[in-house]
Structure 1
Amino acid sequence: MTTPQDELLPATRRALLHRIAVAQSEGRAPSLVAAVVRGGRAVWHGARTSVDGHGPDENVQYRIGSITKTFTAVLVLRLRDEGLLDLADPLEKHLPGTGAGEATIAELLAHTGGLAAESPAPWWERTPGSLRPQLADVLGEQPFRHPVGRRFHYSNPGYTLLGALVEKVRGASWEEVLRAEVLEPLGLRRTSAQPQVPHAGGWAVHPWADVMLPEPVEDLGRMAPAGQLWSTTGDLARFAAFLAYGDDRVLAAETVREMRMPAAPAEAADVVDGLSYGLGLQLQSRDGRLLFGHSGSLPGFLANLTISVEDDVAAVVLANCTSGPPLALVGADLVRIVAEAEPRIPEPWRPVPDVDASVLDLAGPWYWGTQAFALRLAADGGVSLEPLSGYGRRSRFRANGDGTWTGLEGYYAGETLRAVRRPDGSVSHLDLGSFVFTRRPYEESAPVPGGVDPAGWRGIG
């Protein structure tokens, strides 16, 4: 018996419902909604309790807090991809006079710019944005807490600066640019800077009694690029698919892959959990899975977006309470439930339609000194290099179209792989960032290290 690819099995759906039911009950959330994405589309929605007397669904808005930062990062990377700035540019080059201009755009995206975590008092999440009309009000007299580029230190003002950068380069408000360049192309019609009916109200739940207090809704003003947005599980499911696959109308797949590459060192306290940060995305290793996405919170609301590319599964979880259910754990559990109950079915193997004979000649075993590696050809023209046994450096390589390849990950990320040929056209060796790989261990005719000893291999007599 088979099931349509976009439909989850009844047992899987029940396990998902059970997980969010436990989270809502134990976390004492007024309401909790969730969605699961597989194959680029939402395949499950779940909800517990009600919003304004009716069951919440994929169209009810919740405030998503710092998931807003990922949207802002997308806008910045669009500017980079259009050639309007470089991530290595100091902010001062494009947005002068802030007092924080020595930080680069990449450092601001990765929270390594050394800026304070919060704006000066009063507490920005609980006071009107009108109290901070200028960037100077957001940054204060001493914006830096650490040397620029030296450590990861999560910074809300840093993303305020990135939003101001978008406004300066585009000549329009952050909200207008976001709508025109991301929300409309991706069809995120229920994502907005201000709440739209139907939306959940935000609540504080008493820690020692089952009573609630309504939380006020503040417009964050200048801080909007760090946490203003409202959205739904339906819209965030579509956004998750975009972050997994890319969309050429917004960002190419290569750029969204770049966003989820580690760009900041993990804090010592986070190393055990495998936490780090990319360009606008939180990265985590959990249950043997590489997860990326973002969490968010503002008074009255919690939010989480978790994606596993390898499993082709994403989860969205939203709740309308100031604290309570651990949504990052819930999101990771929803991904795990689907990945383990219904593992991804691989695409059928098919031979490539054509192959360059000179490239095919490179496939097979190679030796770095005495360690054996295998070079394999990929259907897209790329190659991979990995140890045949034990531990060792491995990487996938992208074809450059000129007979060379560029490393995509690990130690060889960004390094060039090329085949060095003899005058007769035969392959002498592979050069990988100056490392020599030969067909035999320490091949005598190869350059450094060559045969090492002219007496050759020997035993001990």
Structure 2
Amino acid sequence: MSKVAVLGVFIAILAITTIAFAGLFTWQYITNTPSGDNPTQPDTTTDTGCPKYPKPQEIDFTKHEEFKNFFEWIDSHVASLVDENARLSITANLVYLDKVIWSGYYGRVNKSTTVKPNKNTIYRIGSISKVFSVLFLFKLWEDGKLDLYDPVTKYAPDFNIGRPLGTKNKINLIDIASQLSGLAASLPYSRLNESVIIYSGTLGDALQLLQSQILVAEPRSRCYYSNLAYALLGHILARNFTTDKDFENWAKQNIVDKLNLTNTGFTYSADVRAIMAAGYLPSGVQAPVYEMLWYAPAGNYYSTIADLAKFSMSFMETSKTILKHETLTEILRPRRTCRHDYFVNITGSPWEMNKLHDYLVVSKSGAVEGYTSAMTMIPELKLSFNFLMAGFRNEDVARIVLDKAIPLFRDTLKKMQQKIMPTPNPEKYVGFFSYYNLENQTISVDENGILIMKNPESPLTTLSAGLSYVSDTVFQLLLMGPGFPCIGDLDIQNGAFVHFKELVNGKYNQFDFPEKFLYGYKRL
């Protein structure tokens, strides 16, 4: 092939590539493109178009009949789960942004009274306690005091456990926090019966006991649920990073008090027991309330449905939080896909994760003698469903509720106009811009001072984007109105930044769209 021919091919490829990248705010009408990331598990709900993941904003629920029906359905469904013998009481709430938008209290606090539970009725929360140990770890990481991938032996040189395959793979702190350590469910001989875990020794005693044991799996090789891991994590961190070496004191001062969790704690005092719902075993026998002692960081906490609402808001950044945004992003990140024989698809730190309607569901559930609990969040929707039961659950109630809630919130938000900030001096931006004669954009201003961007060549001429004012040179591109076809990467463009440059004679002569690597839309 001659040099001229090669050059011709190169220019042709470059032109095609350039056109492909130039698709800023360009729509094509496609009716037969399947939606969803996984065509084998399609989302059967109505697709009202882009944005695929609409940004949460305030909703006036009184103006939407479908929400009234939904709240009535939740009330009826959760109430139906009460069992006079083995599931005597349930409290639950639904949180959106920074508010509890629905709550329900069902049954009786114990079999000798007709008193119903309320938002301040205390229940054991079991393994939701593990979240406190993990918050301790991530707070230390945020403060630069450790690395998530530090080996456990850096902070516990006496931590030594056998490897069944004879390897020397190190167990890191993040493995301990994410059900990836390979540690057994508990210390040997610590079970008093088939479900109670109590150990009265010290951290030193536990570490010495582990030296004669082996892992059940190689570190990071598979997901394996371990209460032992989180008890070790809490106590090892307390031994190294607190003056009194007391995990419970650290958790109270740095989590419970700062988030104003008024009825959450470890110690089952007389005052706590006085406002506590009685838990019941499947046989209908009242469950004993016991202290887990050394295992406290893994499952000894109690709380209320009101406090769980605050706790979930702290992770969704809609209320008080103890971690910075970057740290919260890391703590909510999936860690590993689990094998088919594990009870969830994805493990987190310490979350159980699944996908539902293309959204990541981040949950921590708990089960301890006589009590079941769950805090289940959809971070991208700022939506959380929480429940506390005095008995064992008979279904995945959070999944059932969220299976209905997600499409309802998503589709409602898609239909709502996104909040677009007006521009103080719109005349500086109004005009006709071209990207190397490959694509054109017009910018105009409406009666509210909002900049409107349109592609005049688009067949869907009624659709447009608003440029929401951030600063004199930076705007956010926001899709306007419902019904956008969610094709290509249009969804990614929603919320992306537009950068204006070259202010000459009171007008900007260029804007860039860094999200799409598009630099040089010139004023004509």
**Could you state the TM-score of these two structures normalised by the residue count of structure 1?**
0.71
After TM superposition, the structure 1 stretch with the greater mean CA deviation from structure 2, 289-298 or 230-239, is: 289-298
Match of 1:422 in 2: none
Q: Equivalences for 1:232-271 in 2 at 5 Å?
A: 232-245=304-317, 250-269=322-341
Match of 1:455 in 2: none
CA distance in 2, matches of 1:11, 1:93: 55
CA distance in 1, matches of 2:434, 2:267: 59
Note closer, same or farther for the CA distance 1:187–1:50 as it changes in structure 2 (3 Å cut): same
Match of 1:449 in 2: none
CA distance in 2, matches of 1:184, 1:6: 37
Q: Equivalences for 1:209-248 in 2 at 5 Å?
A: 212-245=284-317
Match of 1:185 in 2: 258
Q: Percent identity?
A: 21
Match of 2:185 in 1: 117
Match of 1:145 in 2: 216
Note closer, same or farther for the CA distance 1:340–1:27 as it changes in structure 2 (3 Å cut): farther
Counterpart check, 1:348 vs 2:419: yes
CA drift of 1:378 comes to: 9.4
CA distance in 2, matches of 1:191, 1:72: 15
User: Deviation per CA, 1:29-69, whole angstroms, max 9, x where unpaired?
Assistant: 11111111112222222122100321011101111111111
Letter in 1 for 2:179: H
Letter in 2 for 1:198: I
CA distance in 2, matches of 1:44, 1:58: 12
User: Deviation per CA, 1:156-179, whole angstroms, max 9, x where unpaired?
Assistant: 111112101221212331110001
Note closer, same or farther for the CA distance 1:174–1:361 as it changes in structure 2 (3 Å cut): farther
Q: Equivalences for 1:33-72 in 2 at 5 Å?
A: 33-52=91-110, 53=113, 54-72=115-133
Note closer, same or farther for the CA distance 1:63–1:351 as it changes in structure 2 (3 Å cut): same
CA drift of 1:296 comes to: 0.6
After TM superposition, the structure 1 stretch with the greater mean CA deviation from structure 2, 18-27 or 65-74, is: 18-27
Match of 1:89 in 2: 150
Counterpart check, 1:295 vs 2:365: yes
Letter in 2 for 1:180: Q
CA distance in 2, matches of 1:20, 1:61: 18
Query: What is the DSSP-based 3-state SS (H/G/I as helix, E as strand, rest coil) of the residue aligned with 1:218?
Result: coil
Q: Is the 8 A contact 2:125 2:366 kept in 1?
A: yes
Note closer, same or farther for the CA distance 1:302–1:103 as it changes in structure 2 (3 Å cut): same
Q: Which of 320, 325, 329 is equivalent to 2:394?
A: 325
Match of 2:176 in 1: 108
Letter in 1 for 2:172: T
For the pair shown, which has the larger CA radius of gyration, 1 or 2?
2
After TM superposition, the structure 1 stretch with the greater mean CA deviation from structure 2, 129-138 or 284-293, is: 129-138
CA distance in 2, matches of 1:318, 1:278: 22
**Could you state the TM-score of these two structures normalised by the residue count of structure 2?**
0.63
Counterpart check, 1:335 vs 2:396: no
CA distance in 2, matches of 1:361, 1:228: 63
CA drift of 1:232 comes to: 0.6
Q: Equivalences for 1:340-419 in 2 at 5 Å?
A: 340-341=407-408, 343-344=412-413, 347-350=418-421
CA drift of 1:225 comes to: 0.8
Note closer, same or farther for the CA distance 1:72–1:4 as it changes in structure 2 (3 Å cut): farther
Q: Is the 8 A contact 2:183 2:216 kept in 1?
A: yes
Match of 2:236 in 1: 165
Match of 2:505 in 1: none
Note closer, same or farther for the CA distance 1:17–1:106 as it changes in structure 2 (3 Å cut): same
Q: Is the 8 A contact 1:63 1:228 kept in 2?
A: yes
Structure 1: gaps (5+ residues): 207-211, 367-375, 400-425, 440-461
Q: Is the 8 A contact 1:302 1:318 kept in 2?
A: yes
CA drift of 1:2 comes to: 5.7
Note closer, same or farther for the CA distance 1:6–1:232 as it changes in structure 2 (3 Å cut): farther
Q: Is the 8 A contact 1:20 1:47 kept in 2?
A: no
